[in-house]
Structure 1
Amino acid sequence: MLTIVKGPYLQRPTTETMTIMWETSEPAAGQVDLWASERIHSGHRGNYKPPERLVSSVRHAEPATIHRLALRGLEPGTLYFYQIYAENAAGERVQSGPHPLKTAVPRGVPFSFTVTSETGGYSGFDVTDGRINRNIFRRMGQYRPDIALFVGDLVNDGHRYEDWETYFFGPGKEFLRSTPFYSCLGNHEDHAEWYDAFMDFPSPRSYYSFDYGDVHFTCLDSTEWIPSASYPHSAGEIRPGNAQFDFLVRDLEAYDARWKVVFFHYPPYVSGGYQVEDLRQICPLLERYGVDLVINSHTIVYERSHPLRSGQVDEEGGIVYLVAGGAGAMPEWLLPKREWHTSQSLAVPHFLQVTATSSRLEIRAIDEEGRLFDSFRIRKGNDGKKTYD
């Protein structure tokens, strides 16, 4: 019997486009219908009328199990509703929806995003039978973010097909069908083919960048620079001439965004196990091009650094490094005492909720029970100078 195995879920949000993906149990033709939304003054469907006006319909007739359909010609920062359909050769038909989607906001418009990681990386230590994953996804959904970042280790073994449902798409089903997400490669993904099959990230996919509102996001693949054979040391690739290094230079140089956020899996700064100091080789580059925030994972804790520049605390222009190893907690991985670069640190299951405006980034760390346990702001004036509080 034809069924929807994964999704639907959202990828590649821009001010004018959105990609819808899902997986079916057997090859089938796919279709997405997009409907206009209309606000009303009642509680029905979150103050929106049921979809009535069809805006667009996209179909692929070639049977597939993993479906990827792009909607185009949309309006910026606009809420729509979408519905997916699939039909196999025997005429069996399944559908899902309507579900809400919101296109990316343009520059100058505030937005919010959430961050977590280790939905699969923590699984070997998890005695809660997946409760932490379910709680983290549910709590993130309560904040209604525009997008989400996952900082690697979505699964325990990227080569094992079942892991993608068990640790990520299953517990995140409700959240992911209305929240576009991006991810970087962790060591547990191990560059598996399923990562490419289930995602639709910008080329070359293992590292890429995108804009959303006033933020330019750059995703890096730290597992390429720190391969398992030489971990925790680099294989000598973090230098000019390396494709990813040259991409990073071009990317940071080309985009004059109000805010620059870089995310990758291995942390260059954390007062715990699994700190990867070799990745500090890119810190001068991040500093030179005005990166404001770096988000990492791998060490399954929360940690926030002081603003850092040139290997020292710099309260006027430094970069804050956040470790958001959220979907789990390994307190035994923390060092007995904090390092000099550590501002706040705690090993609890958590996620980050970030609000971005043209003048500030406001970051909150929230545990799986919904309790706030750390927060800070980065403010930026018209002269580009930063303050932290």
Structure 2
Amino acid sequence: MSVLLLSLLTLAQPQHWDFTSSPEDRFADESTGGGLLFDGSADPIYIEDKSSLPENAMTVSAWVSIDEPNRWGGIIGCIQDNGDLELGWILGYNESQFTMALSTSGADDGNGKLTYLDSGDVIYQLGQWYHVSATYDGKTLQLYVDGKRVNQTESQSGSILYNKEMPFTIGGYEDDNELNKFDGRLKSVTLDARASSEKAISAQFEEGSTLKSFDPWVNTELDWLVMPYINWPMTTEMSISFETTLPTDAELQACHETGRCAQTIQSSGKRLHHFRLTGLEPNEKYFYIVKATDFRGNTIESPRLSFRTAPETEDSFTFIAIGDTQAQAEVVKRVSDVAYSHRPNLVVHAGDLVTTGSNKSHWTGHFFPAMQPLISRVPFMPVLGNHEQDAQHYYDYMVLPEPERYYSFTFGNAEFFMIDGNRSLAEQSEQLNWLEQSLAKSKAKWKFAVLHQPPYTSDSNDYGDTYHTTSTRGDMNARNIVSVLEKYGVDICFSGHVHDYERTFPIAGDKVIPWEDGGVMYVTTAGGGGHLEHFDPTNTWFGHKKANCHHLVYIAIHGDILEFQAIDEFGNLFDIITLNKGGLSR
């Protein structure tokens, strides 16, 4: 496919990008000319010369057809929407509407403030051509679809705010921590440093309105984008999720292994579907099938899958601890397959599920495929790592107890305290207060903490170069939880981040203390796939068992007994311990 970008004109004249294609790439009658087809995997077009970006007024227009909805979809723009920093503008779309965002000096709160308009009742149909425009005259922002104004606001005024690092793109939504690639077609894009009248917008629509006569056409086949996976297990409930390449009407059918207690749940008009099964029986096996049908009537159906509900207090169970699956998908697949070979009841993940949390393809093309079939039959419960970037994709995909960034859940006679090591754990912080209150209320026999950053580690250089100088030998924010874990008798703290395996001696009061006397063991299980790291060349005061390999931790609990095994990516056992609470007060 060839792309012709017409040369940039002076600021006083509109910029116009028109697209042509070779005959085999055409998707409309030849009399309409060509267009540009994006498949959702290609990078945006980057406009290097930003000197002609509008400053005080603007009109932006495009003929566009959407193949795949996106919460933060971009047609053309120069934007920064990262935390409190909100600058620039973008003409775009969400899951169902067209959008326009703008940040100006008149609404500046110190870091800029974006206003997002949407097209309201005007809902786009996949594969249909639309003329989308927005104007700003220094006081009023207006959004048009097919020549008609659909929304406006006066919440912005003055000059448009930019910074020099912001990319100027066509066919994508990109800022410092997001890259959402366009999936659909563009016929033409126009940018003018003047605000056009409603009459001019209408005339521009009429000029290209032949495109409206074509039947909807989507260059996407219905398929699984994310195969079914399971979160948040309870004794009587379970969440099952999946994502399709197109919006679908979906159905979940589930029943007990004996065929009783059949349930059917439906969901419509979405790509990402979440189903919550309720009224289940504890520690029982259930079968499930999901089906999805697109707007053309095409249907896909999953295999017959299964899961087991969470055990009750007196039941035995097993679980896997894993971390840092963010790289080397083939390694992740080996580790997850070894994990599944043990048929655990549960998986806990110590964070860094993906390399870049804001990049959707890292979820759909790496993490989820590599973790199958494990996560379609075994519920997994993660914590945020630094590589998740606190991105919306994490919260979209995961179904977890509130507030999701941190949470706790019970499983059999154990309770897991899932901590966000990226946020403050300082004294009197919201999260540390929550952790102490939750531990104080816990009646579980076995208590586990999970966070990404290790409170203690013998790593060579994450917390200081141990080959040449000193090290804190652990994350100092994470270190704030240590006294709380000791106070309430937490047995093991699992972490990731440092790509190796380490099990410390039990620790309390910054000393090695027997586990039976209240010591907490710290286990770094960051061997899920990330490139391996190295240890301090000299042992630390707390260092016990270490291994430089991709791995998982397998734990079996039956009453007072905990059996702990560390297993490498090829199924080889390399560490084993047993803990027995019989007769102990902890």
**Fold shared by both chains (TM-score > 0.5):** yes
Partners of 2:325 and 2:502 in 1: CA distance: 18
Partners of 2:370 and 2:480 in 1: CA distance: 36
Between 365-374 and 268-277, report the one with greater CA deviation. 268-277
Note if contact 1:154-1:167 (Cα within 8 Å) is conserved in structure 2. Answer: no
Structure 2 residue 577 is matched with structure 1 residue 370: no
Partners of 1:90 and 1:339 in 2: CA distance: 63
> In the alignment, what sits opposite 1:249?
436
Shift of 1:54: 6.2
- Give 3-state SS (helix, strand or coil) of 1:203's partner: coil
Look up the equivalent residue of 1:267 and give its one-letter code: P
Partners of 2:530 and 2:245 in 1: CA distance: 34
Shift of 1:89: 2.5
Gaps of 5+ in 2: 1-220, 463-473
Note if contact 2:421-2:477 (Cα within 8 Å) is conserved in structure 1. Answer: no
Note if contact 1:222-1:265 (Cα within 8 Å) is conserved in structure 2. Answer: yes
> In the alignment, what sits opposite 1:59?
266
Partners of 1:332 and 1:143 in 2: CA distance: 27
Once the two structures are superposed, the pairs formed by residues 266-277 of structure 1 within 5 Å of their partners are 266-272=453-459, 273-274=461-462, 275-277=474-476
Question: How high is the TM-score relative to the length of structure 2?
Answer: 0.59
- Give 3-state SS (helix, strand or coil) of 1:375's partner: strand
The runs of at least 4 aligned residues of structure 1 exceeding 6 Å deviation read: none
Shift of 1:134: 1.1
Q: Which of 241, 265, 268 in structure 2 is aligned with 1:21? A: 241
Partners of 1:299 and 1:320 in 2: CA distance: 16
Q: Which of 194, 199, 203 in structure 1 is aligned with 2:398? A: 199
Look up the equivalent residue of 1:325 and give its one-letter code: A
Note if contact 2:498-2:533 (Cα within 8 Å) is conserved in structure 1. Answer: no
- Give 3-state SS (helix, strand or coil) of 1:139's partner: helix
> In the alignment, what sits opposite 1:238?
426
Look up the equivalent residue of 2:353 and give its one-letter code: L
> In the alignment, what sits opposite 1:113?
319
Once the two structures are superposed, the pairs formed by residues 65-214 of structure 1 within 5 Å of their partners are 65-120=271-326, 123=327, 126=328, 130-214=329-413
Partners of 2:276 and 2:549 in 1: CA distance: 38
> In the alignment, what sits opposite 1:295?
494
Q: Which of 370, 380, 383 in structure 1 is aligned with 2:581? A: 380
Shift of 1:36: 2.5
Look up the equivalent residue of 1:238 and give its one-letter code: A
Partners of 2:558 and 2:413 in 1: CA distance: 7
Structure 2 residue 213 is matched with structure 1 residue 3: no
Partners of 1:267 and 1:200 in 2: CA distance: 25
Q: Which of 291, 313, 324 in structure 1 is aligned with 2:512? A: 313
> In the alignment, what sits opposite 1:355?
556
Question: How high is the TM-score relative to the length of structure 1?
Answer: 0.88
Q: 1:142 to 1:332 in 2, by over 3 A?
A: closer
Shift of 1:329: 6.7
Q: 1:247 to 1:85 in 2, by over 3 A?
A: same
Instruction: Say which structure, 1 or 2, has more relative contact order (CA 8 Å, 6+ apart).
Output: 1
Shift of 1:355: 0.6
Between 325-334 and 270-279, report the one with greater CA deviation. 325-334
> In the alignment, what sits opposite 1:232?
none
CA deviations 1:124-175 (Å, max 9, x no partner) are xx5xxx3211110110010000010111111000000000123310111211
Shift of 1:343: 1.0
Partners of 1:176 and 1:331 in 2: CA distance: 24
Look up the equivalent residue of 1:37 and give its one-letter code: E
Look up the equivalent residue of 1:290 and give its one-letter code: G
| Number of positions where the alignment pairs a residue of Structure 1 with one of Structure 2 | 352
Note if contact 1:301-1:323 (Cα within 8 Å) is conserved in structure 2. Answer: yes
- Give 3-state SS (helix, strand or coil) of 1:270's partner: coil
Q: 1:186 to 1:365 in 2, by over 3 A?
A: same
CA deviations 1:243-281 (Å, max 9, x no partner) are 211111111011111011000000011111323134222
Shift of 1:381: 2.0
